[in-house]
Each structure stands twice: as C-alpha cells, then as structure tokens.
Chain A
Amino acid sequence: MPSLARLRRRLVEHRTPYLLLLPSVAYLLSFTIYPILNVFYLSVTDLHLVKSLVPHFIGFGNYRDLIWNDPDFRRILGNTFIWTFGSTTLQFVLGLTTSLILNARLPWRGFWRGVMLVPWVTPIIVVGIIWRWIYDGSYGLLNYYLTVVGLLNRYVVWLGEDAMVWPALLLASLWKGYPYMCLMLLAGLQTIPEEIYEAADVDGASGFWRIWYITLPLLRPVATIVTLVALVLTWNNFQMIWVLTEGGPAYATSVLATYVFTKGFVFFQLGSGSAVAALSILVVLVLCVIYGRMLRVEEREP
C-alpha cells in the first residue's frame, strides 16, 4: 500500500526525534490518554469493587440513576459550580491585587515574591491541618479573633455547619490557590514594556488610572488564559475539599470531583463513579477546546 510506504519513509526520515520521544509518548498514551478513554467505557458498566470485579456492559443505567434517581446529584452539581466559580473568582481578585503590588518597586521584592508562594508548595494535608485548627469550634483562631473584634457572639464549628462551611472552605482555598494565579499574572505584567508607562506619565495619567487604562487591558489575554486554567484545575480539585470536610456535612460540600471518590472508593461503585467522572470530563473538554482556540489566537497575534 502506498500510504504504508509513505508512513515508513516518514518514520525513517524523522527517526531521531521519534526515538527520543518514544518512551515518553508510550507512557503518555497508556497513563494519560488511555485512562480518559477507559473511564468512558467503565461508565457504561456495572464495575463494583466487591460485587462485580469484571465489568459488564449495562448501557446508560449509571447515568440514568445519577440524573433521575440520585437525590443528592442535583445539589452536588450546584455545589460544583459554587466551588469552581467561587474559588476562581476569589483567587483571581487577590491574585491580581497581589501581582500589582509585587510588580511595583518595593524593597526586598524578590523575597516577598518567594514568601507569597509558600501556600502553593505546602502539601495539601498540611493545609488541612492548619485550617482545621483555625476553624476549630473550641480552640480555633478564627472564632477567637472574630469574637474579640465583636463580629461573632458565639463559637462556630466552621466546618460542621451548613451555612458556614462554604465560606470557610472558600477562604482556605483562596489561601492555597491565590499564589498560582498571582505568579501567572506577575509573569504577564512583566511582559508589559516600561515605555508604555513612561508615555502615560507624559500624558499625566497616574496611579489608579494608569492601572485601569493601561495595565489591565494589556493583561487581559494572559488573565483570560490563566482564569480558564484555574477554572479547570478547581473543577477537578478533590484534595482541598477532602482534607477539610470530606464533602460533608452530609453532601453539603460534595462536588463532582469528591463524588467520584465517594462513589468509587467509599461505596465501591466504580461503574457509577466512572459515570460521574465522565460527565465531569465532558465539561472539562469544552473548556479545553476554548483554551486551545485561545492559544492559537495568541500565537497569531505578534
């Protein structure tokens, strides 16, 4: 076949890069691509960690059960949006503010930039230890300080009350996640040439207006991409919620990401858990297409 011959010629012609990349590509195919496809297959089976170790095809039953028969699913879906947009918005606002501060001329600027990243490198379990203690109902720092300034007249079990658990979770997520956002935005800010500001100085623009009319519009492409990435990473973020609340109380802070784990490894329903994962991936795919498009636009611009 002519196409086969052409393929062979191509392989021979480019053999050096192909050989160099072979182990990496083989790995990525089996541990990144295959699992994504596999989860879609498992989602239409009855795979169960105890009852059915061999998957049998059962059609769309898992999806049907989730959407029509699962009383918690709707709430979990809603939570996923609160979590994703709440976290990302907060992280963006603080990340942007901090990046503007750390981009200004400051003594010890490099040092502050390093310190800012500490929460980002802290292992998630340690983040859990720190914030569980801050939110503790009897000895927690938050209760103490809020009472001292008079904002609170009783001690609250922050991670145990339906009304308090979301603000608590989002604050901890802000602490852990804003440095990444700030880091990316800071990189974006550094690509804005100094001369633009000098021109603005001549025109008499200063301070706030300089940021509003020059910095922010020029930062917009970077900010959009970073926000999109953060949305997806938060959407998939199981660890932050798990170390603080394990999705509780009841399902109050469960999102799709934690529900995959609850279904699969707490209730052993791997098939049903895969259906949750597959639904979650579909949303991520949509966001990825947008991301891919934007990268291409970015490439064309200069």
Chain B
Amino acid sequence: MRKLIIALLTLSLVPNISIAGPKAEVLHWWTSGGEAKALQVLKDDFASGGGEWTDMPVAGGGGDAAMQTLKARIVAGDAPAAAQIKGPTIQAYDREGVVSPYSINEVAKKENWDKLLSKQVASHMKCDGDFPNGKAYCAAPVNIHRIDWFWANKKVLDSNGIKMPTTWDEFNAAADKLKAKGIIPLAHGSQPWQDATVFEAVALGIGGNDFYKKAFVDADVATLSGPTMVKVFDQMRKITTYIDDGAPGRDWNVATGMVMEGKAAFQLMGDWAKGEFAAAGLQPGKDYYCQPTPSDTGYLYNVDSFVFYKVNDPDKVKGQQLLASLMMGKNFQKVFNIYKGSIPARLDVPMDEFDACAKKSNADLNAAAKSGGLLPSFAHGMTLELGVKGAIQDVVTEHFNSNMSSQDAVNKLASAVKAAI
C-alpha cells in the first residue's frame, strides 16, 4: 500500500518540470548518535520516493532559538513542512489557524491510521476540534516513550539483597538500607523537568490512575490541592533524602552513568535512558534491571510526533503527504525505535528485534489501555497547556529544592494553576 502511494505520488510528478517534486523542510531535535542514524533511514526513504529533504536540525539545548525561528516563520506565512511538536501544542497551533487544511488527513484515511494506531495515540494526532475529539489527522506519531521506569544496577541490588520494588514503601525501605551502606539510593539530576518526571511517577503510584487523570489531564484544582496530593509531596520529600548533594543541575545522562558505575542504585527516568546503557554495552536483565515504578498498571506515555503546517506550494503538500506516509511506515517505526529505546506508535510492528525492556513496555501498554491506566505524561508536555504545566513544574521543583512543607506546596499548586488557567 505504501509503495503504491509512493509510486502514485512519484508518477503524478512526471509531467512537472524536472526540479519539481515532493519537497519537505523538516525541523527536528534528533541530532545525537542513534537518533541521527535512525533519521537517516527516513531521509533515504524520502529520497528514494523522489523527494527533496531540507534538514532543519536543532542541536540539544538550542531549542529556544529554533522555537523562535519556527514561530517567526509561521507568523510570516512561511512555515516548514513539518516540525517535531507534540502533545496539546499540536492543537494549540491548530487553534491559531496555521495547520488547516490538514493535507495529511487524506493519506491517513487511505492508509487507515485509525486501525494502525491505538485510539489514545490517534487522538493526540488529530486537529479540527479540541483534544481528544479532533476530526482530521494533522500530525504523525513516530514512537511511544514510557516515562515511569526504574533503572537499577543489578550488581548493587543483588549484593545488598534488594529486589526491584513493587510498592513505594518497598522502595523507601530499600533506599534506607542502601543509604546506610553509603550507596546513593537514587541517581537524580535536579533540573525542573527531571524533578517533574519523578513527581509524576510518584503521583501515579501513590494517587492511582483516576487521581492522576483528574489532577494532570483535567487540571482539577480540588484534586491538585487535596489530601492525596499532600501524600505525594510527602513521598517527594522522602526522595530528596535519597539523592546526593551534587544533584542540582546534573544532566540526566550523567545520573544514568552513576547507576552504571554502581555509585548509585536506582534512577527514575524515561526509556531513553536505555540508550546510555546500550552505548556502554550493558544488557537488560544481566547488567541492569528495568522495571516500571510502582503503580496500579499505570503507564505514562510520551509520543513524539511531527505536526504538518499549512503550506501553499503543491510540491510541498506532496512532500508532506509522502513524509507522513513514510513516518508511519513499518520499516521506519521499527528501525527508529530500536535506536531510540522507545516502542513503535504503530500497533502492527513485530517486536521480535526489540530488547526485553521494550517488549515489557509494549505488553504493559496494551494492558494499561484496557485498565484505564494509559495516561499522558505531564512532565513531558503530553497533557495540559504549556503554561499550566509550567506552573505545576515550578511548584514541584521549588518544593523539591527547599524545605517547603507538603501542605504549603499543595496550596501553592492550587494558586499557581488557578493563575495559569
């Protein structure tokens, strides 16, 4: 089917002058080793489909300048074909009127994306109506990252007689034991987004799925300031005693390194951490453990996606359609996700070549989708408007890095969210 579309697209270009062809200018953040390699697969596919790819890579950390350029170009009516944008920001761009008339919806219909994607993921990709009730596809998903993972050094855990925790109490007991032996229980970099990553996993575990949904999907102020949230902050306070003095400002991959070296026992991080273990030649189950953080079949996801803006040049429209089709292609979804550590967004990609952690992630995803535990990560911008998300993150990181009481934190949370809405 895909080949047919590519062939049709290519054929349709024949009458045009020689330079014409599908064109796509793509803004993305994938510049590091494995990600860049995986993207090359897409670029090659695109070229063999007759397309002309213009790369707009944004090196890590330079996101500010890129967003500035992106916005300036959109305002000037010269949007790139596709940009790596995810979560509610997709629909926010649509509300500004710079996405319609949804050129890729045609492709999505033809290829029956509704069948290829889970309903949850598909709803994030649709515009023309507010989330989750969009009617037309305007974005293509490339992966599903799981956020609520514990990564642990096997040697450290085994030699201290510690099992991977299945409740937060077990985690606390294990951490106390490790601390007494002079091992850092949790490798952590206290940057706001990392604090929020820990926070959302704790909230999911302690509050449960419904609590998480009310607090971070519906932004319900009563839930955000209720007694369960106080308990969540209590656990966060405990966690602050399990990290070392060097944590503030530390990058996440440095923290992963601490687990690999055995300086620290656990790290709570999304599954991109696996890339660091893989790069050091370590194997899951043999050198390190991967297990979801304690929760009741909860699963926090982050879906990376590309939004396709309104463009006027018919060549660019064709480029967008070709690109969308390739991004959803089985080959790209497989290769890319093996490199990236995530799992395919597309449901029918065989998982044989993936590692044990990815297989577990895939199995848990299906279970969570049935139990209602499949929830969007707020720390990674899959739910809530960016302003509200930022307001919550400010309070979380302020609490984590001071001696604020849980009750004060909860009160602050309520007022910050009210101000941001």
Bound together: no
A residues engaging B (CB < 8 A)? none
B residues engaging A (CB < 8 A)? none
